[in-house]
Structure formats: C-alpha cells, structure tokens
Structure 1
Amino acid sequence: MYDRLQLTNMLRSEVERIPETGLPLEVFPARIQELVLNLARYENFNVEYTASILLSAVATAIGNSYRIRIKGEWKTSPSIYMMLVGRPGLGKTPPLGFLYRPIREYDDRMYEKYNEEWNAYEKALASSGNRRGGAAEECTLLRKPQLVTTVISDFTPEAMMSIHQHNPRGIALVVDEIRALFNSVKRYNNRNNLIEDLLTAYSGQPLKVIRKSEARPILIKNPCINIIGSVQTNLLPEIFRAEYMANGLLDRFLFVYPKDRRISGWKRDDGTIARPDLVGQWQEVLDRIVNLPYPAGVVLNMADDAEAYFYNWYNGIIEEVNAIEDDAEVESRKMKLNGNAARLSLVFQVLKWATDGGGMQCVDLESVQAAIRMIGYYEETYRRIQELIVANNIGESKEAWLSLLGNTFTAGDAIVVGKRVELSRRSVYYALKQLCCQPNPLLEKIDHGTYRKLCPSKPAAPCTIALLDGETGGAGYQSAKVQCANDENPRGHE
C-alpha cells in the first residue's frame, strides 16, 4: 500500500519521464526520492547523476563503520568506484558538489581542530625548549598532530596512503575530471603503485607501504576507498585503454551515462510555492550516517530471504558464464557484479535507517532487491558506453580489418587480425555481431565461431598495404588508424 509521499513521488516521476531513463528511482526511500526530484526541479540537476552520486556520498559517509558479509568470511566495506559520463554542460559537477558538501564541511571542522592542535603543539615545543633539564625527554613525549580528512582531490599515491592511515574509517577520491586520476599514473611513473593499490583496496586486502623514504611503514588493515569522478564522452577512449581493461580496474567501476543527452533549460521560480530546505534535509541524513560510531566495525549479515534472493541472482550469472564454451567470450566484469551488488545493498540498508527508521540488525530483502535493480541499471549504461566506443573503433578500422580476413574465417582469426589494427577482443566480437545483424549484413555466421563474407573483398587501402608489408617482414606495420601517404601529418600508433 502506497503512502501519500510515495504516491506523489510516483506521479512526479511519471511526469518527468524518469522511467524512460531506466533509473529505478522507486527503489530509494521515499524521502530520498523526494529530495532527488526536488533537486531536479529547483537546481536543474540531472536525476541519474544525482541519484548515483548520492549513493557514492552515503558509501563514503558509512566508511568502515559498517561492513556486509557476502559469503562465509568474505566481508566488504561499502566502497564504490563510480564514473559519471556525459557531454560538456550536462551537469555532472553541480550535484557532485552539493551531495558531498556535508562531508567536506565535516573535513573543514577537522581541519580547524588540526590547526588548534598544531598551534598548541608548537607552543609546547617552544616552552620545553626554553626550560632546562628534561627538555629533550619532554620534547619526545609531545605528540605531533595529524590531519584527519575524508575527501581528497589532488594527491600523490604516497599522500593517499598516509591520509588513509590517519583516517582508517575511509577516504574518498573525488575528482572533477577522472582522467586526472589515471594520468597521475604517468606523472609518478617511477614508483607508482596507484592502480595496484586501488585494486587491492577494492578487494579488501591490507595495504602496506615499506619504503626507505618513509620514517615508519604504513599499514592499512581494512582499506575503504571510494572513487567518483566525471569524464566527457569524447574522452572515453583515454579511459578505456588496454591496460585498464586487462587488469580489471574498469570492471570495478559503476558507470552513469544518461540516456537523455539534452541539457534542461532553466525555469524561473514564480515564488508561489515555498522552496524546500534541500541543504538542511540532506545535511540531516548524511550527518546521521557520518556519526555512526567507529571503530565499532559492525558486520551485517543478509537476512535469510535476502541471502536466498542474492544467491539466486548471482547463480543465474554463473549459469550464463558456464554456458559459454569459448573462454574468449567470457566477460570478466560479470564476475565482479556480486561485490558491487553487496556494497549497494549495505548502502540502501543504511540509507533506509537514516531516513525511514529502518532496522540495522541485518541487510533485508528490500535493500538487496534495490541494489540488484541498480546494478541492472548500471550494466545497461555500461553496455551503451561499450557500444559507443566499439562503434567508433570499428568505424576507423573496419575496412582494414575485413581486408585482412579471408572469405571464410573463424572468430579466432578475427581476434588475431583485430590486434594488428588495434581492435580489442571485445570490439571484434561486437563487430562480428553487428556486421551479421545490420539491415545489409556484410557477414553471416555459418557455424559456431565460423563466419563468411557476403560481399567481395575490396582492394586494400593504403593503410592495409602497410599492414600487409609488416606481415612479410618489412620495416614494420602501422596502425589501421594511419593516414594515407599524401596526408600532411602521417600518424603511427596512438
């Protein structure tokens, strides 16, 4: 039975055509639905970005105060890696600033406390230095203040580890342009373990740093690192690079890519309706979560019906993977979904407790169902991102790729040739599917893993000739993305 607020939210969602976006806004607590809808109305925030950033902020606020047991001894904090994708001006940054503001304000208060402690520390140092006898002993007993903060944006890998050590509850890497996070790998390339540290932190394994430059080793037994940042659609190829696909980093990310790419026009408020206190409402919710005690480190189990639902859902994924005969067709991302689903289940449980007075004895069925619905939404957005990237790659390399294949070929042949024209394995499989299913198909599947061309081979393009020369032992082949010889600025590998 719907109460008045739920019914109002449902009607407003229909009017705003939110169901068409695929976002299951109805799985959020009623008060949060109302907040998201009001932020869209009064602040012009994109609903899909707002709802997702909200989950990231809640996960950051929870930190290591609560964890969820997934199976047996597998327990995890609610840390989430999230990427906001969209064209410039679509509104990724404003909701990020608004929803993380209470956590930043908490950091500001901690910074003021740190300054007070530092001033007291310096006075004590000066005082002990002016006294005779026992001054050296007293000086060594003085404890140097350490800054405790949660949100960091510009950092070195070493600084990130140090900050997390002083805030074991957890930290958040909030970067307006997430390319900066990936580019930092190049900037500190000599001794940069950032990607490895992020992979280790996601899996919940201890982080340890032992270096000569460090006065003391750093050990973080239960890392909890949240990541959120944005990237413009046309810059996605810089993120989806081979090394990040191979090491599984991107498989850990949840992607938000709104279906509706239109930028909403601004509407004037006529003043006839009182504007709700959106800042105060959100502050109240997040403050309650931030104040959860730590280091209590409570581990919540799933309720029996919730665990049964979760296992049935994931067993369905396992059955799909087991049915695939060719290992090359198995997507590693699918096997990471259980971790993100469990984390979101915990986030929804805490969010319900902070708004509607839900219990905190276990993670209930409603929270697990909400999380799985959201995972379905994020996987749909990821699929659309992949189609966009692959379509662009195929458009640039299709002719050269097809020219190097015989009239009849296997999927394995296509993958081998694809590497030579910079098409990933995933791109090759997508290309085979698309070229068989388009209105005027170029290929047909004649057997399992075997294909035949439906159009005659075309003369090799200049870039294809370069590829063939490399095959016969020439000076080396060039990418299929090279320009013709008469172009002014020929280009090699990117």
Structure 2
Amino acid sequence: MTMQHESPLAVDTREAARMLGISPQHVWSLTGRRNNTLASLASTMRRRGMPAEAIEAALLQENALRCDPPLPDDEVRRIARSVARYEPSADRAAPAWQAFPPDALPKQIRRFVTAGAEAIGCDPAYLAVSSLVACAFAIGRSRCLRLKTRWREYPVLWAALVGESGTQKSPAMDLALGPLRKRQEEAFAEYEKQRKTYEEEVRQAKREKSRRSRGSASRPAEPRPPVCTRYLVSDTTCEALAPILVDNPRGLLLARDELAGWIRSQNEYKRHRGSDTANWLSTWQGGSWMIDRKGAGPLHIPEACVSILGGIQPEVLRAALGREHMHDGMAARLLLAYPPPRTRQWTEEDIPSSVLDEMDDLIGRLLALQPNEGGNGPEPVELTLSPEAKAAWREFYNRHNLLIADAHEPLRSALSKLEAYGARFALVLALCRDAAATEVAAPDVEAAARLVDWFADEARRVYAAIFPAGDGDAVAGKQAKLVDFIKRRGGAVTLRDVYTGCRWLDPQTAESALRELVAAG
C-alpha cells in the first residue's frame, strides 16, 4: 500500500509505535493483551499531544486489524475517553471538574444523595462520599473481599471533604451519618442502664461476700462489667482508641468536622510518646496494633479497622499534610472530594421521609451482618469475584496500572492506593445491592471502576490546586494558587480581594503577581 493511499488513522498508529520506541510488529500483535496494549498506545499518543478524536480513531483501526478477537467498539471508545481526560504531557495538570457519577451508586444511596443535596444546597459529591463511608463502616469486619489467597480487602474508607467555609461540608456529613448517630445514642442509653445494673450487682456481691466470709467456702460470681457498643468516635490518639477497638472488633468510624486535628495529632503525639502514624497507616489495610500503655499493660488488636470521614479547608489541608505526610503515604490514603463552590439559594425542597427511611434501613441491614466465629475471635466472611466480575476486575486493574506507571509522585502514590479502593468500593456496592451476597458481580466492579476514575481525577485536581509545584519552584506554586483563587471567584478579583484572601502572598508580591497575570492575558 502506497503512502498516498494510507489513511491518516494508519499514520497515527505507526506514529504511536515510533513514540513507544518499539517496532510496529510488536504493537500490532495484541492477542491476549488487547486492553493493556490499546490503553498503552492511547496513553502514549495523549502524552504527545494527540487529540481525543485521533486517539479513538487510531484505536478503533488497530482493534479491527490487530486484535484477536477484536474488542467491542464501545469498549475501545471507553479506553480512548478514559485516557483523553488527562492533559497532554502534564502529570500535574488538573483535569476539569467532573460531577460525581450518581449512577455508580446503589439506588437507595443515589436517591438519598440527590434529595439531600437539593435540600442542603451542597454539591452531591459531599453527600455521596459521606454515604459511602457510612456504609463501608456499617459493614466493617463482618465481610471482606478475597482477590487472591493472601490478598483480602476490608471495607475501610478514609475520606476528606475539601472546601472553603460555608460549602456545607458539615451538614452533608451530619445527614449521611444520621442513621449511625441515632443508633449510637440508643447504644449509649442502653449502656447507661446496664452500667447502673452492674453497679448494683457489685454492691450486692460485696454484701453477699461479707455475709459468707465466715466459714463459707462458696463465693458469689463476680459481676461482669457491660461493654458499650461504639459506632462513632472523635478522639484521634491510638492509645484512646485501642480499648474501644478491643470491645468493638467490628471497627469504628472516626468522624470529625475538622479533619486537621486528626492529622496534626499524629505529629504532636509522636514527639511525646511514639509514633501514631505507623499505627494509622496499618489501620488503613486492617493491620495489627500493639499499644504499650503506661501502668496498664500492652493492648494487641490483630486487625484494627477504622474508617475516617471529615471536612477540611484547602489551605488547612496543605499545611496539615505538609512534606512529611505527602511522603509517608498518609495523604495518598485519603479519598478527596473538592467540588467548586456554589452560590446557595433558598429552596423549599426537603428530603422525603421515605428516602430517609430507605437509607436508615440500608444502614440497619449492613450493621446486622455477622462475622464467622473463628478460633481466635470473629473472622470476616469472605466474598469472592464472580467469573464475570473477575474479567471486569482484570480489565480495571490493567488499565489503572497504566495510569500509575505514567504518574509521578506524589500523585503516583495516591493512584496506587486507589487500586485497593477499587476492590473496597466493589465490596461495599455489592452488599448495598444485596446484604446476603456471597459474590461480587461484574456491575459492582464496573461501578467501582467509575468511582476510582472519579477519585483519580479529584486527586489530580486537588494536588494541582493545593500542591501546584510540589517541593520545587515556590514562586510558580504561589502563582498557580493565585490563578486557582481567581477562578474560584468567577475570574475577576480586586487587589483587596487578593490581599485578604491570599495570605500566602505579601502585598508587594500580590500586586506584582496580578500584573504578571494581566500581562500574560
């Protein structure tokens, strides 16, 4: 075939082969690795600046000519769209804001999020993320997803709702955690009754012991103190949480309006007593805790599971995480939701009681799930992937790891943790769909992959907005933050706005930076 008869699409794929630095024959031979190779081609073409339409056309041609058997065209287009979301050759470039995908949620949560966001006036992302964390906690250590013999994922989610003051982060959290707060109050009331009964039994036992002390061999049984069922906690130190976890092996949900206190407490505690950070990092994957308590002996928790949910302002997040937690893996474990601020207007919309009851019933069903009884205490019931779900997982895993390979730190670490979150989302979605499920189905994995894609975009956006220059060029970083500040205020600001709203700029630098931006258009 002569060059003049070659289609432009064929030139695109040959150019992609040249970009990859390998011969076209190797690219053309796709048997057994179709998704992986097509995604790699798309990623390379995008990094070199090819537009989405050219990438899609090139992939469709190569799929038809070289894949054996060809993938469905819709699947090829999805690969092209997924890769085309990212800016050419810009690991730190932030994609445009994408609304949270409500159709990735189970129907009960979807209705709850839609109605709740309308009533509160918040972005649906805040309520969606909060609801996912609440459901994940409710499942707790009663269930896990086994991907391989030694790879199990627990439903542990850590999420930060990022936004300036007044963006309705706290009301969204309160609404999503309502069913848990109600049950926590009921548990406290029941514990108080049991505590009073216990204290009376102790007094009776002492009187009985006194009467029988002379010449009696039998002794009354010692009353057993009651255990308080805990769902929600706010204390952030491991020493305070350890006894509560011992009594509640299913797990806990650390919920704080201001998440910065949890992040900062690790540094403060470390200086005086030892590292809380290591225990928290272990908790994210259901690892063990060993807490040495002064005068009280050690506490060992074989599988500590604590989900985390809190709000935080962008500048506070930047200061709280700092260099240390960007590199120790703490920041990478946080699922971030940072929607653009919206102007609130009064609405008569309210949440139908049927929607609230539906969400309450869902949380109740998940809390009712029971683990197996093992030789050393409760053991989670293992769910596995159905054959169709295994195929969907393989596709997600390969595609997501191509994104990881193309990323740089600290984004690379965040994307790596999202791999595990993909399995955790799939587990949560499966059990929300059917609390009696023994397998995760393909639609659960596909919906989980959509959630991972969304959180990957958010990580990219937040890192670019809050950590725009990494550890390098501080001047460029400040200017990028200023650009983000202006965009968030509709694209127009006064010098006074910058003085009062950009505390990281001194007045002289602020004026100079504004002039440079005006000159640059």
Q: Determine if the TM-score, normalized by the shorter chain, exceeds 0.5.
A: yes
1:32-89 CA-to-partner distances (Å, cap 9, x unmatched) read 3222211122333421111111100000110011111132221121010100001111
Q: 1:263 to 1:192 in 2, by over 3 A?
A: farther
Q: Which runs of 5+ in 2 are unaligned?
A: 1-95, 372-377, 482-503, 508-521
| 2:447 is the alignment partner of 1:370 | yes
| 2:401 is the alignment partner of 1:318 | yes
| 2:382 is the alignment partner of 1:299 | yes
Equivalent residue, structure 1, for 2:359: 282
Farther off after superposition, 185-194 or 82-91: 185-194
| 2:71 is the alignment partner of 1:71 | no
| 2:145 is the alignment partner of 1:62 | no
Q: Is the 8 A contact 1:128 1:138 kept in 2?
A: no
Name the CA distance, whole Å, in 2 between partners of 1:33 and 1:120.
Answer: 43
Name the CA distance, whole Å, in 2 between partners of 1:144 and 1:109.
Answer: 18
Name the CA distance, whole Å, in 1 between partners of 2:237 and 2:220.
Answer: 31
| 2:186 is the alignment partner of 1:109 | yes
Q: 1:120 to 1:276 in 2, by over 3 A?
A: closer
Deviation for aligned residue 1:321: 4.9
Deviation for aligned residue 1:252: 1.0
Q: Which runs of 5+ in 1 are unaligned?
A: 1-18, 400-422, 432-480, 485-494
How do 1:384-399 and structure 2 match up within 5 A?
Answer: 384-391=461-468, 397-398=474-475
Farther off after superposition, 127-136 or 290-299: 127-136
Equivalent residue, structure 1, for 2:129: 52
| 2:334 is the alignment partner of 1:257 | no
Name the CA distance, whole Å, in 2 between partners of 1:252 and 1:328.
Answer: 14
Equivalent residue, structure 2, for 1:221: 302
Equivalent residue, structure 2, for 1:35: 112
Q: Is the 8 A contact 1:39 1:278 kept in 2?
A: no
Q: Is the 8 A contact 2:162 2:311 kept in 1?
A: yes
Q: CA RMSD in A?
A: 3.2
Q: 1:205 to 1:276 in 2, by over 3 A?
A: closer
Q: 1:142 to 1:312 in 2, by over 3 A?
A: same
Deviation for aligned residue 1:323: 6.7
Indicate the SS of the match to 2:385: coil
Farther off after superposition, 197-206 or 386-395: 386-395
1:67-122 CA-to-partner distances (Å, cap 9, x unmatched) read 11132221121010100001111110112111112112222222222212211221
Indicate the SS of the match to 1:172: strand
Name the CA distance, whole Å, in 2 between partners of 1:336 and 1:54.
Answer: 20
**Which residue among 391, 402, 409 is the counterpart of 1:308?**
391
| 2:320 is the alignment partner of 1:246 | no
Q: 1:316 to 1:41 in 2, by over 3 A?
A: closer
Return the letter of the residue paired with 1:176.
Answer: D
| 2:238 is the alignment partner of 1:157 | yes
Q: Is the 8 A contact 2:141 2:251 kept in 1?
A: yes
Deviation for aligned residue 1:394: 8.9
Question: When the two structures are superposed, what TM-score results if normalisation uses the length of structure 1?
Answer: 0.70
| 2:291 is the alignment partner of 1:196 | no
Deviation for aligned residue 1:330: 8.1
Deviation for aligned residue 1:340: 0.8
Q: Is the 8 A contact 1:300 1:362 kept in 2?
A: yes
Name the CA distance, whole Å, in 1 between partners of 2:171 and 2:199.
Answer: 39
1:191-246 CA-to-partner distances (Å, cap 9, x unmatched) read 1432211111112222222334224x322222211001111123222133111011
1:262-305 CA-to-partner distances (Å, cap 9, x unmatched) read 13211135x9xx94433322211211111112346211001122
Name the CA distance, whole Å, in 1 between partners of 2:124 and 2:204.
Answer: 57
Taking only the aligned residue pairs, the percentage that are identical comes to 25
Deviation for aligned residue 1:316: 2.9
Name the CA distance, whole Å, in 2 between partners of 1:148 and 1:170.
Answer: 11
Q: 1:45 to 1:195 in 2, by over 3 A?
A: same
Q: Is the 8 A contact 1:165 1:220 kept in 2?
A: yes
**Which residue among 449, 458, 461 is the counterpart of 1:381?**
458
Q: Is the 8 A contact 1:206 1:221 kept in 2?
A: yes
Indicate the SS of the match to 1:234: helix
- How many aligned residue pairs are there? 379
**Which residue among 89, 96, 100 is the counterpart of 1:23?**
100
**Which residue among 170, 177, 201 is the counterpart of 2:258?**
177
| 2:254 is the alignment partner of 1:205 | no
Deviation for aligned residue 1:360: 0.2
